[in-house]
């Protein structure tokens, strides 16, 4: 393995772990863990590390190339979302046989959507920068919380019954969503 630079954080933990954050490798290790053991861990996981470092760098590059969203663009996205997303909610609520409360559209830095215990739905206006299938997957996900306020197998059974392509588009969002969200910063 190349000698990839990393930030080492020692603590009272029992195991070694690696994480990629903002293009940097962070290694967490027990206080008395020998350097040799850390190097062995890095060698054993070098493919994962290189793969995720590359993905992180690519996401950062895309975010830089996409540019920050202006206030004007944000308002336009919110207006489009107010028109489009409630239609999709009505459509899928009918298919799923669920009710819901208020629908709110916001510019959020960390969430694509949420569902409150009262059935109020919140959606991120940045969804308008994603394919329509991604929007549908988020809508169905939030509506499924009207059955289950968790992410249990029963919850996903409701999601997949209403939207069998959910996994494909949820994967798209996991892969590309961070670059979309970074346009707010």
Can you give the residue ranges of every domain in the chain? Answer: 6-66, 71-184
* Gap between the Cα atoms of 37 and 32, Å rounded: 10
Q: Which residues, other chains included, contact 166 with Cβ-Cβ below 8 Å and sequence gap of 6+?
A: 137, 140, 141, 159, 160
Over its length of 185 residues, how does the chain's per-residue pLDDT go in tens digits?
Answer: 455 789 999 999 999 999 988 778 999 999 999 999 999 999 999 999 998 888 777 766 665 566 788 899 999 999 999 999 999 999 999 999 999 999 999 999 899 999 999 999 999 999 999 999 999 999 999 999 999 999 999 999 999 999 999 999 999 999 999 889 988 86
Q: Give the DSSP H/E element, type plus range, for residue 10.
A: strand 6-11
* Chosen CATH of 71-184 out of 3.30.2010.10, 3.40.50.720, 3.40.50.300, 3.30.365.10: 3.30.2010.10
């Amino acid at each position: 393995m190349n000698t990839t630079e990393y930030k080492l954080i020692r603590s009272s933990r029992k195991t070694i772990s690696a994480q990629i954050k903002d293009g940097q490798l962070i290694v967490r290790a027990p206080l008395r863990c020998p350097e040799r053991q850390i190097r062995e861990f890095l060698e054993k996981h070098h493919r994962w590390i290189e793969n995720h470092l590359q993905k992180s760098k690519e996401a950062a590059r895309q975010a830089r190339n996409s540019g920050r969203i202006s206030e004007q663009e944000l308002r336009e996205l919110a207006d489009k979302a107010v028109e489009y997303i409630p239609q999709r909610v009505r459509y899928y609520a009918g298919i799923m046989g669920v009710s819901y409360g208020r629908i709110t559209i916001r510019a959020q830095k960390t969430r694509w959507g949420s569902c409150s215990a009262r059935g109020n739905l919140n959606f991120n206006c940045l969804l308008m920068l994603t394919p329509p299938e991604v929007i549908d997957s988020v809508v169905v996900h939030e509506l499924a919380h009207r059955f289950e306020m968790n992410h249990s197998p029963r919850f996903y059974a409701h999601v997949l019954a209403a939207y069998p392509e959910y996994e494909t588009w949820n994967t798209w969002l996991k892969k590309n969503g961070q670059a979309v969200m970074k346009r707010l910063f």
